[in-house]
Amino acid sequence: MSLYKNNSGYSKIAKLFHWGFVLLFVYGVAKQVDDINQLEDAAFIRFEIIFSLIFLFLLITRLIYMKTTQKSSLPKDTPRVQKMSAKIVHNGMYAFLAGTVLSGLLIGYLFWFGFQNSLMMNIVITLHELFINLLYLLIGIHIFAATFHRLKKDGVWSSMVPIFKENKK
């Protein structure tokens, strides 16, 4: 019998999706478009579109997999407001990841079709920046919550993180 308050653990596929997305996201941020004029390079814009479509496909695949096969590792006695907050943060991260990718694709298509200096382009860029900033906020909350659970030693941290396992009481 486990000494943790919950017995839930995520599958190896769920962990691969989680940590794989961390790496993909860090790569995407590191190679982000610094200047919209970079999109004039046909090879660059083609790579950006392909990367974005693959990222979006993997995001949808991950969402379907997680929602249909995995259960939360939060202990059953977790307060309702905390469970709701966790759901809002997780769903928000999916939404803002998708919004960031879709708005980025729209920026690329607008640029490609000659709308570089249009009001529509400015609106989409602003929306793209809003999505990414809200995503950073939710990622920060997610990391804070994971650390909280690590300190609480309720098994949530160890259900997904492969290092610094919680000491069993």
Domain membership of residue 62 (yes or no) is: yes
Residue 117 — φ and ψ, nearest 5°?
-110, 35
Burial of 169 (0-12, 13-18, 19+ CB in 10 A): exposed
Domain membership of residue 48 (yes or no) is: yes
pLDDT at 5: 37
pLDDT at 168: 57
Supply the angle between the helices 119-152 and 80-112 in degrees, to the nearest 10: 150
Rounded CA-CA distance 142/26 in Å is 16
**Residues 119-145 pLDDT 10s:** 999 999 999 999 999 999 999 999 999
Domain membership of residue 168 (yes or no) is: no
Domain membership of residue 7 (yes or no) is: no
- Of 23-37, 49-63, 152-166, which gets the smallest average pLDDT? 152-166
Domain membership of residue 109 (yes or no) is: yes
Q: 107 lies in which domain range?
A: 12-71+80-160
Domain membership of residue 88 (yes or no) is: yes
Q: What is the pTM of this model?
A: 0.85
Both structure tokens of 32:
């982000």
| Half-sphere exposure at residue 28, Cβ-oriented, CA atoms within 13 angstroms | 20
Domain membership of residue 85 (yes or no) is: yes
**62 with 21: CB under 8 angstroms?**
yes
Domain membership of residue 167 (yes or no) is: no
pLDDT at 38: 85
Task: Report the domain count for the chain.
Answer: 1
Both structure tokens of 67:
């929602």
Look at 58 and 34; give whichever has higher pLDDT: 58
Segment 144-164 mean pLDDT: 86
For the chain, give percent helix, strand, coil, nearest 5.
75, 0, 25
pLDDT at 42: 87
